[in-house]
Amino acid sequence: MRSMGGDQVEEAVASCVTLLRTAVEQDWEGTKAGRLDWSCRETAEHICGDLIAYAGQLAGRATKAYMPFDIVMEDGTDNAGHLDVIETTGALLAAAVRTTPREVRAFHPYPFRSANREGFAAMGVTEILVHTHDIAEGLGLAYEPPAELCADVLARIFPHVRPGDAPWPTLLWATGRGELSDRAPLTEWRWNNNLVIPAERLTLQGVTPAAAADLSAGGTGGFEWVEDGPFEGTRSAAGMVAKSYEAGTHRPEWGMFVLVRTEDGRAVGGMGFHGAPDEDRRAEVGYDLAESARGNGYASEALGALSAWALSREDVDVLFAAIDHTNLPSQGVISRAGYTRVSEELETYAYEEQGLERSLRLYARES
Please report the domains of the chain, with CATH numbers, ordered by start residue. Answer: 6-174 (1.20.120.450), 196-366 (3.40.630.30)
Report helix, strand or coil for 289: strand
Whether the predicted pLDDT of 272 surpasses 90: yes
What does residue 47 show for φ and ψ, rounded to 5 degrees?
-55, -50
Arithmetic mean of pLDDT, 301-328? 97
The mean predicted confidence, pLDDT, of the chain is 97
C-alpha 160/C-alpha 254 separation (Å) is 11
Quote the percentage of the chain above a pLDDT of 70.
100
Confidence of residue 349 (pLDDT cuts 50, 70, 90): confident
User: Pairing between strand 224-225 and 266-273?
Assistant: parallel
Neighbour-count burial for 324-340, b at 16+ CB within 10 Å, e otherwise? eeeeeebbebbeebbbe
C-alpha 286/C-alpha 289 separation (Å) is 11
Specify the length of the chain in residues.
367
Whole-model pTM: value is 0.96
Whether the predicted pLDDT of 259 surpasses 90: yes
Whether the predicted pLDDT of 1 surpasses 80: no
Residue 270 vs residues 229, 249, 323, 347: alpha-carbon distances, Å = 10, 20, 16, 26
Confidence of residue 48 (pLDDT cuts 50, 70, 90): very high
pLDDT digits (tens, 9 = 90+) for 145-200: 999 999 999 999 999 999 989 999 999 999 999 999 999 999 899 999 999 999 99
pLDDT of residue 3: 85
Confidence of residue 2 (pLDDT cuts 50, 70, 90): confident
145: preceding bond cis by omega (within 30 degrees): no
C-alpha 104/C-alpha 328 separation (Å) is 36
Whether the predicted pLDDT of 258 surpasses 80: yes
Could you give the maximum distance between any two Cα atoms of the chain, in Å? 78
